[in-house]
Amino acid sequence: MSPLTEKDRPIIQLLLSTGTCPRCVLRFCCVGSQMLYRHPHEELLKDLQKFLRNSHEEEGSVCLDVSNPPCKRLRLEPGEEGASDRNCNVAIPHLPGNICNVCLGVLQEFCEAGFVKKVCQKVNSADYQFISFVFSVSLPPQLSVRERAAWLGVKQNLGLPFPEDDIIQLKEAYKWIIHPQLSEELGVPADGKVFFSAFFFLRHILSLLFLVLDSLFYFTLQSVFTRMAVIKALEKIKEEDFLKHFPCPPSSPKNHCDALEIQCNNGAVFVAGRYNKYSRNLPQTPWIIDGERKLESSVEELISEHLMAQFKADSFNFSSSGREDVDVRTLGNGRPFAIELVNPHRIHFTTEEMRRLQQAINDSSDKIQVRDLQLVTRSAIGRMKEGEEEKTKTYSALIWTDKAIQREDITFLDDIKELKLDQKTPLRVLHRRPLAVRCRLIHTMRSEYIDEHHFRLHLKTQAGTYIKEFVHGDFGRTKPNIGSLLNRTADILELDVESVDVDWPPTLAD
């Protein structure tokens, strides 16, 4: 807590006389007591006026806080005898209805109970689920100019060199005031680390301040009056140039800020699970080439449409532990996936509700099935990608050969362990993957003879191995390959992913 002292008297005197509101006065006096800013505007004004009228009989500091134990808190009650006699020889024209020349009413009108109720009505009408919140405000760029003018006014008129950074930031003071009121009205605590945010946008008409600023630094602003552009321009303006063009402290405005809009936003929710894909005509993600959609659906869409509807989200982002081609099935315990649901209105789901949601996805299509559907954290998704290249995957490939084979022609494949491959980027993915030679391992193989031209090969490989290319060789871009090992032309007819050995997400009981 920073009490007011005699050194603050000239600052209070100057700023009040030029139309600065009591809360901005406290900011420029570097008062850091949050509770003090929450006192009613009129009450603070009376206390500051009383402080100015107080004679030097009061030694030390005057505290305007009401913490326990209570400080000396001076009040000027209406009609108090002799109040006007104890004057500090300064006119104090600031009235409760005046618009502050520094904050343009941000710490006045937009801290009142009526405004707080409007904000809460807007938040409640948006129909979000949340257990805590943070309230953010977008301030007009003009406030940066006015704050600089007030600081230079104090510095030049009073000869008080104090760092501009010591002034309590307007946004900080505003949150000190508004957060407790919103918390009480909404019935949840304010917490800067939480998901739900309400964004409040303020604007103010462009004034002569900006026209002069633009003329001084047109090459910096380029007529785009964003807050950052104004701040950068102010950093380049010399104090003497600023004082020539701007009244310091700033003049009183005719209009206060206008509330443009209030936007609500919930932090993302993450859902994870495993999916099986049973169709050989279904891509993992929408298949669109040159703006034309090739297939009507995808794994991503079949899962996400149900999640989007239940979570009432604006959009989503899909990720998985690897991907299969459109004609490849994913069997076994499935492929791990995660979906980020952006700005969901609903965030609370019981275990039973998640189970019903999983069932709804599975009942909607015979092309996919989902298991272990659950809510996860953002950090947990990292486990899906951790050591992805070191993980193993198991495949089953149906292989054709041009020359007839006998059972004994392929049995040697079963004895090959840790076969090292050099795989140049396949031709079929060269348009979206950089050209490189990747070293991959085939850990084990097990063959099943079918007939003279067909056999099935079960492979356990390093994740990231191109199985199709390992079979047919990709015109010699993968070495060795099944064709070179058998000394004949080989091609792959069907491919299934039998397991993705990533221990995530946790398995759930049925």
DSSP string across 420-477? EEEEE--GGGTTTS---EEEEEEEEEEEEEEETTEEEEEEEEETT--HHHHHH-TTTT
Give the pLDDT mean for 91-103: 69
| pLDDT for residue 215 | 39
Helix H or strand E encompassing 43: helix 41-53
pLDDT at 64 over 70: no
Each residue's pLDDT tens digit, 266-322 = 999 999 999 999 999 999 999 888 888 889 999 999 999 999 999 999 999 999 999
The number of helices, as runs of H, and strands, as runs of E, in the chain is 17, 15
Catalytic option among 325, 372, 501, 503: 325
Helix H or strand E encompassing 478: strand 478-479
134-138/197-203 β-pairing: parallel
Calculate the CA 311 to chain-centre distance.
18
| pLDDT for residue 73 | 33
| pLDDT for residue 70 | 36
Each residue's pLDDT tens digit, 441-466 = 999 999 999 999 999 999 999 999 99
| pLDDT for residue 65 | 45
Q: Is 314 a catalytic residue?
A: no
**C-alpha distances in Å from residue 373, one per residue of 106, 335, 367, 386, 449:** 46, 12, 17, 20, 38
Each residue's pLDDT tens digit, 362-420 = 999 999 999 999 999 999 988 888 766 678 999 999 999 999 999 999 999 999 999 99
C-beta separation of 350 from 259 below 8 A: no
329-342/490-500 β-pairing: parallel
pLDDT at 327 over 90: yes
